[in-house]
């Protein structure tokens, strides 16, 4: 296997893959030789992302899906398996945020954030993990945030979802490690994306989506007898 393509022959599924962090992760895994399925709700944007990746000679399958809906998740996983093969790398990246004091947010805001940031990781993992267990190998990587470890004003609902994702990750890791499946979480600090513009911060000092993709690449190329359960990712300079 060429050193520059350590994932040759493997299949990866990246949720929230049409832009930002998810698109950067999909590109990095594709460059490493994986066949990559990307999922997002916005079909137009998803297909544009696929065109961008294919222009770089990467193998990509765009599958429109709302990953908060179990039936759509099942369709996403089945389509990926049929078109690309068994999934060996799952990156649960889909995420949104509403930022205001928790008592000022509507119940619908809570439900939407929890469904996208936490429930989707549960649904996608539940759909993919059984085949990993049968094959006794695989990676599940959840994209959380340093907000899952640090409180800040106006972050109640978002932080709660990311703290929950950490708990889910750690328990899944214990459930699955004996099957050769490595479950890890990446907690980035401020990343320059359109999702989180971070007004007042210097974009040149912020993390870039490619920095998160680099951490994913590190996790899927670990030595066989160990696994990194958590990555805290910060910029070298405070933005």
pLDDT digits (tens, 9 = 90+) for 131-169: 999 999 999 999 999 999 999 999 999 999 999 999 999
CATH number of the domain residue 105 falls in? 3.40.50.720
Give the phi and the psi of residue 106 in degrees, each rounded to 5: -80, 160
Confirm whether 239 is domain-assigned: no
Statement: residue 2 has pLDDT above 60? no
pLDDT value of position 203? 76
- As a whole number of angstroms, the distance between CA 119 and CA 124 comes to 9
pLDDT score at 1:
46
Q: Is residue 42 part of a domain?
A: yes
Q: d(Cα 46, Cα 35) in Å, to the nearest integer?
A: 16
pLDDT at res. 3: 57
Whether 188 is covered by a domain: the verdict is yes
The domain in which residue 216 lies consists of 11-233
The reply to whether 6 falls in a domain is: no
For 113-123, what is the mean pLDDT?
98
**How confident is the model over 182-206, as pLDDT tens digits?**
999 999 998 987 765 566 677 778 8
Region 82-105 average pLDDT: 96
- Give yes or no for residue 22 having a pLDDT over 70: yes
Whether residue 2 is contained in a domain is answered as no
d(CA 165, CA 205): 27
186 domain-assigned: yes
Catalytic residues: 158
Beta bridge partners of residue 35, listed in sequence order? 11
pLDDT in tens, 5-18: 999 999 999 999 99
- Looking at the structure of the chain, the number of domains it has is 1
Is position 4 within any domain? no
Q: Is 1 among the domain residues?
A: no
């Amino acid at each position: 296997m060429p050193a520059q393509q350590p994932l040759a022959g493997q299949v990866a599924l990246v949720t929230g893959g049409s832009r930002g962090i998810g698109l950067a992760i999909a590109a990095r895994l594709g460059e490493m030789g994986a066949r990559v399925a990307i999922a997002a709700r916005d079909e137009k944007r998803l297909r544009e992302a696929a065109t961008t990746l294919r222009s770089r000679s990467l193998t990509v399958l765009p599958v429109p899906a709302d990953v908060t809906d179990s039936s759509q998740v099942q369709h996403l996983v089945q389509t990926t398996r049929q078109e690309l093969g068994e999934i060996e790398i799952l990156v649960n990246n889909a995420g949104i945020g509403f930022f205001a004091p928790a008592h000022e947010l509507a119940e619908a805001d809570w439900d939407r954030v929890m469904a996208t940031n936490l429930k989707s990781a549960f649904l996608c993992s539940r759909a993919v993990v059984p085949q990993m267990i049968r094959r006794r190998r695989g990676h599940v990587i959840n994209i959380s945030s340093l907000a899952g470890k640090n409180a800040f004003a106006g972050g109640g609902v978002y932080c709660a979802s990311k703290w929950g994702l950490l708990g889910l990750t750690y328990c899944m890791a214990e459930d699955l490690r004996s099957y050769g499946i490595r479950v890890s979480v990446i907690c980035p600090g401020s990343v320059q994306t359109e999702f989180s513009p971070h007004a007042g911060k210097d974009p040149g000092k912020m993390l870039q989506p490619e920095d998160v993709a680099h951490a994913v690449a590190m996790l899927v190329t670990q030595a066989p007898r160990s696994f990194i359960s958590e990555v805290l990712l910060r910029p070298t300079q405070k933005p």
